[in-house]
Each structure stands twice: as C-alpha cells, then as structure tokens.
C-alpha cells in the first residue's frame, strides 16, 4: 500500500479552511454591498468595529469592502445563483393590460371596462381610463426631497437638523431624527456627510475634540459616541497622534515656549500638556537662574516676547 505524501495530507486539511475563508469573505462582501456602512455591518454580525477591521485585514478585504460602501448600485457585481442552493417558489406574473387601457377608443366601439370598475359609472371624457389612486409609498420621495433640502441648508449637524425638523422650541429627539432619515432611505447619505464633516472639523481644529464638540453643539461624550458610530475612531486617533508628534517636534526655545503659554488648552485636549510643560520648565529654569531673576535678561536669552516671558516666569514661580 503506497504511503500518502505529506503534501497530499496537508492539502486535505487546508481545503476546508480555504473554503471557510472564501465563504466568510463572500458573506462580508455581501453585507457591505447591502448596508454600505461599516457600523451597520458590524452590528449585524455582532462584532465591534475593531474586530470587523481585524477580520477584513486578515482576509485582505478592507479595500474591496470600502469600495462597495463608496460606490453606486452600478458598481455592484451581477447577482448569480449559488450552485446547489434551493430555488424559491415560482413567481406568477399578472398579465399586462396596458395596451387595452392606453389604446384609443374607435368611434362607435365600446370602451372596455377596467377590471374592478363599476360598469354603470359615468365614463370619463375622451374614453380615457381614470387614473389609479396614488400608492401608499409615493410619499417617501417627497419626504426624501424635504430631508435633502434641509440637509443642504444646515448641513449634517444633528442639533440644527433636529431644531429645523421639529416644532418651534421642541427639537426632534435624536432617535426620531435618525428614524426619519432611515425611513426615507437616506441613512447612508446622512452617515457619509457626517463622516466628511467630522474629518474636516478635526483637521481644522488640529485634533482638538473639545473644539469640535463646541462647534457641533454636542457634549464630549456625545461626540465620542458619534465618532464610534461612524467608524472613525481609529482614523481620528491617528490624526491626533500626528498632531501630538508635531507638537513634540517644536524647536527650542521660542516655538516650544510659545506653544505652551499660548495653546495650552489644545495641548491639554491632546493629553500632552503636562509632558511638554515638564520638559520646557526643566530647560527654562537654567536660563532663569542665569538671568538672576531678571525678566528682561530671560527674554533676551530665550528670544521671547514680553508677554511670553512673563507667562513663563509665572510658570517657573509656581
């Protein structure tokens, strides 16, 4: 009996693993194609966003998945039947009566009565078939158009949207606001605009979360929740890390001292104010001792303005 080669044995073991990975990848891509939103995909799978990102990176699908979220319906692959999957019940289609309804009536010929209509009812002038009542879902496009118009005026700011769409003095609750956009089919549109707004505000305020929250009229906790819900936690944190690196790389002495005394609130927001203050004061204390307690000599040695020199003296005196 011939011995089985190690390659053949390993092939039998890895084939089910490859099939499982392929099936998992197809499921993830189908969810991204359906939801077009990473937080919704993570919620449907019962995962956190970090776990979803890790799985996408493991399967090498992150770029393909996010291409589906940014694309349109025309970018989606053509649906095809899955081999071996049971088919659904046959669909019976109703025969079209458009030709009989839209055909012009010949003079002297009786106009056919539409199905379900009262044969004794008075005919409409010209023999035309009376229009059917509007469908119940016809109000959805009107609601979507109204929401898009408000969104274009006030932007994707939840506080302004709630105040504009609610009664005077009674803004809509956040859950009601989001439900209205969801019912009009604009949940993805609102989400994408909120992502773009958050990216722009964090870049404008150089990563300062408090300044962004104040501009959006949100509490800091609400801003953190919004950033997490929109899947931007990792991106915003990497942006803040970049600004931390820039702050630490300021040149001594003038740039570092000016940054500490003029932009302390920004440094505290980034969480590095105490770190940079310790470094600046340890180096400035030597210059203060050489100046003999003279602010003018300290100012000349460190090349500072009058106000910055006095602010530094106050820090050294604490």
CA distance 248 to 240: 12
Same domain, 277 and 234: no
CA distance 211 to 214: 5
- 120 assigned to some structural domain: no
SS3 170: strand
- 167 assigned to some structural domain: yes
Same domain, 274 and 228: no
Number of domains into which the chain is organized: 3
Q: Are 282 and 274 in contact (CB under 8 A)?
A: no
- Between these two residues, 72 and 212, which has the higher pLDDT value? 212
Same domain, 272 and 235: no
Same domain, 238 and 281: no
Same domain, 158 and 207: yes
Single out the residue of 233, 182, 317, 251 nearest to residue 49, CA to CA: 233
- 117 assigned to some structural domain: no
- 38 assigned to some structural domain: yes
pTM listed for this prediction: 0.59
Q: Tell me the β-bridge partners of 167.
A: 170
Same domain, 159 and 221: yes
| Among 243, 274, 289, residue at a domain's last position | 243
DSSP assignment letter at 103:
S
Same domain, 239 and 144: yes
Same domain, 235 and 198: yes
| Among 209, 243, 277, residue at a domain's last position | 243
- Mean pLDDT, rounded, for 130-137: 50
- 304 assigned to some structural domain: yes
Same domain, 171 and 228: yes
Average predicted confidence (pLDDT) for the chain: 81
Same domain, 229 and 286: no
> Domain range holding 304?
250-316
- Mean pLDDT, rounded, for 108-120: 48
Same domain, 236 and 147: yes
CA distance 312 to 306: 10
- 106 assigned to some structural domain: no
Number of alpha carbons in the 13 Å side-chain half-sphere of residue 245: 6
SS3 265: helix
Residue written as tokens 């003999």?
A: 292
SS3 93: coil
Backbone angles phi, psi at 167, to 5 degrees: -75, 160
pLDDT in tens, 49-77: 778 888 898 898 888 887 777 655 445 55
The pLDDT value given to residue 122: 47
| Structure tokens belonging to residue 183 | 């019912």
The pLDDT value given to residue 229: 93
Same domain, 239 and 205: yes
SS3 283: helix
pLDDT in tens, 241-296: 999 999 999 999 999 999 999 999 999 999 999 999 999 999 999 999 999 989 99
- 230 assigned to some structural domain: yes
CA distance 28 to 42: 10
- 107 assigned to some structural domain: no
Confidence of residue 98 (pLDDT cuts 50, 70, 90): very low
């Amino acid at each position: 009996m011939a011995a089985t080669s190690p390659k053949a044995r390993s092939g039998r073991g890895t084939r089910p693993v490859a099939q499982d990975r392929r099936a998992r990848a197809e499921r993830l891509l189908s969810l991204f194609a359906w939801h077009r939103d990473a937080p919704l995909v993570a919620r449907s799978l019962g995962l956190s966003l970090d776990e979803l990102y890790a799985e996408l990176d493991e399967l090498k699908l992150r770029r393909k998945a996010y291409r589906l979220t940014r694309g349109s319906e025309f970018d989606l692959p053509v649906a095809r039947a899955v081999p071996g999957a049971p088919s659904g019940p046959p669909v019976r289609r109703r025969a079209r009566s458009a030709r009989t309804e839209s055909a012009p009536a010949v003079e002297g010929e009786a106009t056919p009565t539409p199905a379900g209509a009262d044969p004794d009812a008075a005919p409409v002038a010209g023999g035309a078939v009376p229009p059917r009542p509007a469908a119940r879902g016809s109000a959805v496009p009107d609601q979507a158009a109204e929401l898009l118009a408000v969104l274009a005026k006030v932007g994707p700011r939840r506080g302004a949207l709630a105040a504009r769409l609610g009664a005077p003095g009674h803004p809509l609750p956040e859950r009601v606001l989001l439900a209205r956009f969801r019912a009009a089919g604009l949940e993805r549109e609102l989400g994408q605009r909120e992502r773009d707004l958050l990216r722009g505000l964090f870049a404008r305020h150089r990563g300062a979360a408090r300044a962004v929250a104040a501009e959006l009229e949100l509490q800091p906790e609400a801003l953190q929740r919004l950033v997490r819900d929109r899947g931007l936690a990792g991106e915003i944190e990497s942006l803040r890390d970049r600004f931390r690196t820039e702050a630490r790389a300021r040149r001594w002495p003038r740039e570092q001292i000016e940054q500490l005394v003029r932009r302390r609130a920004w440094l505290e927001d980034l969480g590095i104010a105490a770190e940079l203050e310790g470094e600046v004061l340890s180096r400035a204390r030597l210059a203060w001792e050489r100046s003999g307690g003279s602010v003018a000599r300290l100012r000349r040695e460190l090349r500072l303005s009058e106000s910055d020199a006095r602010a530094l003296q106050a820090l050294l005196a604490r």
